[in-house]
């Protein structure tokens, strides 16, 4: 088995860091070193890392760059990593004991392998708030069972260091999000020998507050807009919202404007159909995920559905605009690799 450097970033998450270090010690295949970049934590995380660096059971190389973005932090960590195989994850997750062993195993069995797409999931039992449960239900559960063609996130992926550097590393000119999606697209375009670890053994902890969920939606769409990816999804989401908005605005106009009865009836029918489709979706998701005495509120689903889509669309438009000046390097890399806006 080749030696493995485990790469991660962190900011103000001392409890998540404690869990991370404990879970890595319990791995059936421990990393040969951990390289972690701290973005300037003030909650004791940095002290924990430096203490573990001196006394921990796994070699740890800790570095700090105040206010650095996750992509920058990972690139810094990769630059000093000692070993050829890089496994990457996020503090803020949980892991089965076999996670790293299964993620790294294909490198031993397949000479010349460039990258392994990792799997991850979100556990229903970790959703404590009504908003988090609604988000889980809206997304029909959150899980990636990876194939070699998957777009794996930074929370569960591995690659050879020379392959990572040959692609150019993670793009650092995006505001916060979409660096891993951009890099995944480049992996799929540039890689010729890819594999997957198909069993989800990495568990992502999601935000619990509505405000945090909406901020995440805006941030993710912002990153896609900056990178110039995800245009088809933006058009589909935005187009449906525009259609619904236009229908519900037109209905009172048709009634108050004394349009023909046929126009009013047709407008009403369209609004009823659009609303029925939404309510049907919310009801089905609420019924599916209201199990073992845990209820999913249709009201929470409705509010979060519309707000998250609105926040996302606003974020995407902003990203499209700012990306022209701020994110030229990222967009140029994608276009040079033949990756379009879709």
β-pairing, 120-121 vs 143-144, is antiparallel
Contacts of 203 (CB under 8 A, 6+ apart): 93, 94, 95, 120, 121, 122, 123, 126
R_g (Cα) of the chain, nearest Å? 23
pLDDT of residue 86: 97
| Residues 85/4, Cβ–Cβ less than 8 Å | yes
pLDDT of residue 16: 96
**Residue found by looking up tokens 């860091």 in the block:** 17
DSSP H helical ranges for 147-209: 161-167, 179-190
The residues pairing with 91 across neighbouring beta strands, listed in sequence order, are 93
pLDDT of residue 172: 95
Reading the chain (342 residues) residue by residue, the pLDDT tens digits are 789 999 999 999 999 999 999 999 999 999 999 999 999 999 999 999 999 999 999 999 999 999 999 999 999 999 999 999 999 999 999 999 999 999 999 999 898 999 999 999 999 999 999 999 999 999 988 999 999 999 999 999 999 999 999 999 999 999 988 999 999 999 999 999 999 999 999 999 999 999 999 999 999 999 999 999 999 989 988 888 888 887 777 777 777 777 777 777 787 888 788 888 888 888 888 888 876 667 888 899 999 999 999 999 999 999 999 999 999 999 999 999 999 876
pLDDT of residue 320: 93
pLDDT of residue 293: 65
Return the CATH architecture of domain 4-206.
Alpha-Beta Complex (3.90)
| Domain map (residue ranges) of the chain | 4-206, 227-336
d(CA 20, CA 164): 24
DSSP state of 296: -
């Amino acid at each position: 088995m080749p030696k493995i450097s485990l790469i991660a970033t962190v900011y103000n998450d001392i409890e998540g860091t404690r869990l991370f270090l404990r879970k890595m010690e319990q791995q059936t295949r421990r990393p040969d070193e951990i390289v972690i970049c701290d973005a300037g934590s003030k909650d004791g995380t940095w002290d924990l890392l430096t203490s573990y660096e001196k006394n921990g059971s796994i070699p740890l190389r800790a570095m700090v760059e105040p206010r650095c973005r996750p992509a920058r932090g990972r690139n810094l960590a990769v630059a000093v990593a000692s070993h050829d195989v890089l496994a990457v994850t996020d503090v803020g997750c949980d892991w089965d004991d076999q996670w790293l062993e299964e993620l790294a195993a294909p490198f031993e069995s397949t000479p010349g392998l460039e990258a392994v797409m990792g799997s991850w999931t979100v556990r229903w039992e970790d959703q404590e708030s009504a908003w988090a449960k609604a988000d889980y239900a809206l997304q029909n559960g959150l899980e990636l069972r990876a194939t070699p063609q998957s777009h794996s996130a930074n929370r569960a992926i591995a690659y050879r260091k020379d392959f990572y550097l040959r692609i150019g590393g993670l793009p650092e000119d995006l505001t916060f999000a979409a660096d891993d999606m951009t890099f995944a697209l480049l992996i799929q375009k540039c890689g010729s020998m890819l594999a997957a670890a198909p069993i989800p053994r990495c568990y992502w902890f999601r935000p619990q507050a509505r405000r945090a969920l909406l901020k995440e939606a805006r941030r993710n769409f912002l990153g896609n807009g900056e990178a110039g990816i995800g245009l088809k999804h933006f058009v589909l989401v935005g187009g449906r919202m525009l259609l619904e908005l236009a229908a519900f605005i037109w209905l009172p106009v048709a009634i108050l404007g004394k349009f023909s009865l046929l126009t009013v009836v047709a407008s009403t029918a369209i609004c009823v159909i659009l609303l029925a489709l939404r309510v049907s979706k919310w009801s089905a998701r609420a019924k599916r995920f209201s199990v073992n005495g845990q209820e999913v509120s249709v009201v929470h689903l409705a509010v979060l559905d519309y707000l998250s889509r609105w926040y996302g669309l606003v974020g995407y438009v902003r990203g499209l605009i700012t990306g022209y000046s701020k994110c030229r390097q990222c967009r140029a890399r994608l276009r040079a690799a033949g990756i379009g806006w879709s």
